[in-house]
Chain A
Amino acid sequence: QQQVKQSPQSLIVQKGGISIINCAYENTAFDYFPWYQQFPGKGPALLIAIRPDVSEKKEGRFTISFNKSAKQFSLHIMDSQPGDSATYFCAAGGTSGSRLTFGEGTQLTVNP
């Protein structure tokens, strides 16, 4: 019940295209859904986060879409750039504490 399932495992997009990564969760107690970006040899960096009282949040080229009834959320990267090539992790946190449950990650490659 604590799992967060992320897909796809890897994604290749052309420069200027839209990258879409999906996550699904089971635990309805989760109330915080962040996305992290990780470059090789670095720690994860917070990109954008959403709470379940809104269905969409946009920050620059990054948008989270949230579907509470389906228990799914997704990250859209508009106008993808080669510099966006990294591993992306979704995560979910609950009200019972500060731990986050992470998805398995998506390795994004944006070709020039």
Chain B
Amino acid sequence: NAGVMQNPRHLVRRRGQEARLRCSPMKGHSHVYWYRQLPEEGLKFMVYLQKENIIDESGMPKERFSAEFPKEGPSILRIQQVVRGDSAAYFCASSPADNRGYTFGSGTRLTVV
């Protein structure tokens, strides 16, 4: 079992570019969660998705951020027109059901220059 796979591990973008972060959940898991971790801070919830559905996006900024989890393929977190304040580690987690006992990936570290 390969666990939750996130790629890329590191991503550098210039201000104004788009960032695409990918997350493949553990085999058999149909629930995906995205969290953001700023330096020296805890994790902040962003969005909870099931296949083809956004269940809870209350933690997502209203502009520039979007997430999807298509029927086939990984979940994608997309950040348009990135700014310096978007620099953070973005973690994805997956679970087999709505049970909170989920597994995190190793994260994507986004740096905006």
Contact = CB atoms under 8 A, between A and B. Distances in A.
Interface of A: 6, 32, 34, 36, 41-46, 49, 89, 93, 97-105
Contact of A99 (B33, B40, B99, B106): B33
Contacts of B41: 104-105
Interface stretch (B11-19, B43-51, B61-69, B70-78): B43-51
B85 interface: no
Given A98-B33, A99-B48, A104-B41, A49 B101 contact: yes
Nearest to B103: A46
A99 B59 contact: yes
A102 B44 contact: yes
A103 B103 contact: no
B52 interface: no
Contacts of B107: 42-43
A99 B59 CA distance: 9
A49 B101 CA distance: 9
Interface string B70-113: 00000000000000000000010101001111111111000000
Contacts, number: 60
A68 to B, nearest CB: 18
Given A43-B91, A93-B100, A98 B56 contact: yes
Given A89-B43, A99-B56, A34 B100 contact: yes
B56 A97 contact: yes
B106 A43 contact: yes
26 contacts: A42-B106, A42-B107, A43-B4, A43-B104, A43-B107, A45-B104, A46-B101, A46-B103, A49-B101, A89-B43, A93-B100, A97-B48, A97-B55, A97-B98, A98-B31, A98-B33, A98-B95, A98-B98, A98-B100, A98-B102, A99-B48, A99-B59, A100-B43, A101-B45, A105-B40, A105-B42
A32 B95 CA distance: 15
A97 B58 CA distance: 11
